[in-house]
């Protein structure tokens, strides 16, 4: 059959046009195809210039938005991402974020293996939170009148900006350590434990800010915070013990059966639905559900092996694209906007980098290890994008500040590996580097596909 004769069969028929579900599918599928192709291409280009794939993924999302595609080919972008498609992308991105944060929580190692490690990790985590929180909060107080929404208070705006800047890309840090064989060294164990504390505090802060912003009054706000606290206690105190036999069974057999997969998927989805109903967003539920998972190394390895490829290859690129559709970098123009962005970027970088580096040095590490620690803790990766997308969806920040923080995410993440390698080249790495970990956390699993 000649090619022209095939074309009518490939195009929507009158029946498909009359079926709104089929018509929506015919609009969503091309959008997904373009998103995946763009993400794969930009991710590959990032690895060619010695950058993490996630940097390319974030850039791909921005390129598909109004900054490039919408500016150069507005008709093409309107055809690819019409109004009907965007709610579907939002649902897929929310599902991806919930499952991704579930994997992050499940991959966190809470155990301190040597005396004093928990104390040192707590000191490092505090330095990684307090410095950017104070500096970002101060910037928020100054910039509130020009960058905030009119219905957001000055303190709420300052705390949100400081909280966003205090995040660390825990999966990226884990990937760096596992690639260099540092996960079982003193610096590696303390870094992973500190980053997990850092991010847990930041997500709790976001949950509290969401409760305040959406509560509608002091009573409703306190109710939301109390319900979120009860949810976390139930998950960690009741659900976690119930899941321990599952972890032991997987550790014994070395594989996840079909029944185990159903349980594992249902737990974060149910947790996300509950926290959404409470008012603190589904990713918080996914994160706590991950913390409740069994801690056996074999279970964690099997979990990430089964789920990470699907989450990172299909769902996270949709999140990057959805973020890009909301990113108007062209809005960062004019003297004030550029100065505000420069101020936020400088405070974001210096607060984390110097705060964590000096704290590491004070804990007794050498200067090279200290500067390397500051570089790793300063990367924000996907974590800050999740944070600010929640803020944008809930009306806590403006499109202009959202675009600025997207750029902060890209630049600080891109700077992490070069600064780490500059501070701690392979010839200066600790003598005990290279020992294999018992199980790779989410960062290592994500490293296989390049998402961090």
Query: Which residues of the chain, if any, have pLDDT below 70?
Result: 1-18, 108-115, 171-172, 175-176, 178-184, 215-219, 331, 428-452
286 and 268 in contact (C-beta within 8 Å)?
A: yes
- Which domains are seen in the chain, by residue range? 32-80+88-426 (1.20.1530.20)
Given a contact cutoff of 8 angstroms between Cβ atoms, the answer to whether 443 and 170 are in contact is yes
What pLDDT sits at residue 289? 92
pLDDT, tens only, 205-235? 777 787 777 766 666 777 877 888 899 899 9
Distance in angstroms (rounded) separating the CA atoms of residues 231 and 212? 17
Round to whole Å and give the CA distance between 359 and 353.
10
**Would you state the pLDDT for residue 6?**
42
pLDDT for the residue 439: 46
Cβ atoms of 129 and 202 within 8 Å: the answer is yes
Residues 255, 264 contacting (CB under 8 angstroms): no
């Amino acid at each position: 059959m000649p090619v022209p004769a095939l074309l009518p069969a490939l195009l929507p028929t009158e029946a498909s046009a009359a079926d709104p579900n089929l018509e929506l599918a015919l609009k969503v599928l091309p959008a997904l195809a373009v998103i995946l192709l763009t993400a794969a291409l930009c991710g590959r280009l990032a690895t060619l210039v010695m950058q993490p794939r996630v940097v390319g993924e974030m850039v791909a999302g921005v390129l598909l938005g109004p900054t490039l595609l919408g500016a150069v080919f507005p008709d093409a972008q309107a055809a690819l991402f019409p109004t009907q498609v965007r709610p579907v992308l939002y649902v897929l991105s929310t599902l991806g974020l919930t499952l991704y944060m579930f994997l992050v929580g499940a991959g966190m190692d809470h155990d301190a293996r040597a005396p004093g490690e928990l104390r040192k990790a707590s000191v490092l985590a505090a330095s990684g939170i307090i410095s950017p929180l104070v500096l970002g909060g101060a910037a928020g107080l100054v910039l509130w009148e020009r960058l905030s929404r009119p219905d957001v208070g000055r303190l709420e705006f300052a705390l949100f900006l400081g909280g966003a800047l205090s995040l660390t890309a825990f999966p990226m840090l884990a990937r760096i350590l596992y690639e260099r064989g540092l996960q079982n060294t003193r610096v590696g164990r303390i870094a992973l434990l500190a980053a997990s504390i850092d991010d847990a505090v930041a997500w709790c802060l976001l949950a509290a800010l969401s409760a305040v912003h959406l509560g509608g009054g002091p009573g409703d706000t306190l109710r939301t915070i109390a319900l979120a606290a009860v949810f976390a206690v139930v998950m960690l105190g009741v659900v976690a013990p119930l899941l321990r036999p599952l972890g032991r069974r997987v550790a014994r057999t070395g594989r996840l059966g079909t029944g185990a997969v159903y349980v594992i998927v249902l737990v974060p989805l149910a947790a996300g639905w509950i926290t959404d109903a409470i008012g603190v967003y589904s990713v918080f539920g996914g994160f706590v559900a991950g913390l409740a998972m069994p801690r056996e190394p074999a279970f964690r390895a099997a979990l990430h092996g089964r789920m990470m490829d699907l989450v990172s290859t299909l769902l996270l690129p949709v999140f990057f694209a959805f973020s890009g559709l909301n990113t108007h970098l062209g809005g960062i123009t004019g003297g004030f906007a550029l100065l505000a962005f420069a101020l936020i970027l400088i405070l974001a970088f210096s607060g984390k980098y110097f705060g964590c580096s000096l704290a590491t040095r004070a804990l007794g590490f050498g200067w090279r290890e200290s500067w390397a620690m500051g570089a790793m803790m300063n990367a924000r990766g996907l974590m800050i994008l999740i944070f600010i997308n929640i803020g944008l969806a809930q009306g806590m920040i403006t499109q202009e500040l959202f675009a600025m923080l997207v750029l902060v995410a890209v630049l600080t993440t891109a700077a992490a590996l070069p600064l780490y390698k500059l501070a701690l080249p392979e010839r200066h790495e600790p003598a005990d580097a290279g020992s294999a970990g018992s199980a790779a956390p989410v960062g290592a699993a994500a490293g296989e596909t390049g998402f961090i």
